[in-house]
Amino acid sequence: MTGETADRKRVVLADDDDDWRELLAASLEVAGYEVAQAADGLELRNLLEAADASGKSPDLVVSDHLMPLATGLEVLAWAAHHLPAVPFVILSAFVAPHVRQPALRLGAAAVIDKPVGIESLRARIAEILEPALRN
C-alpha cells in the first residue's frame, strides 16, 4: 500500500443497484476515499470477513438493507460481533421501525432513507468518519 492510499479512509459500499452503487463509489473516490464494492449481502459479508482476517478492517460500511442473499441488517448483526468498531450505515427505501430500531440496537451509526442525494450521503459519511467535522 502506498503512502497515499495508507492515509485514505476505506469505505465498503454494498447495494444491489449497480448504477447507484457505482455512481456513489465514483463520488466517494473523487472525495478521496478508497472504496470496495459488493453487489449483494453475501459478497459484503465475504469482503468484511476477508478484511477482518487480514487485519485491514474498513473505516466505514454503507449498505443497502434489502439485497439478495443477505440483508444489510443480517450483515450488520454479524459485523456487530466481529467488527464492532467499524461504523455501519444502513440505507433503505423502506425505513420503518422494523428496520430502524434493530439497526440502531445493533450499533448502526445511521439509518438513512432512500432516495438520498449523493452530496447529502457523502456529507453524512464525512461526518461519521471525521470527528472534527461534527463540531
Question: Model confidence over 63-116: pLDDT tens digits?
Answer: 999 999 999 999 999 999 999 999 999 998 876 778 889 999 999 999 998 889
CA 20 to chain centre: 14
Side chain identity, residue 48: L
The per-residue pLDDT for 66 is: 93
Chain centre to alpha carbon of residue 36:
10
- Interhelix angle 72-82/97-105, nearest 10 degrees: 10
Fold classified for 3-128:
Rossmann fold (3.40.50)
C-alpha 116 chain-centroid distance: 14
What's the residue count for the chain?
135
The per-residue pLDDT for range 33-44, each reduced to its tens digit, is 999 999 999 999
Domain residue limits, the chain: 3-128
Sign of CA dihedral 131, 45, 42, 106: negative
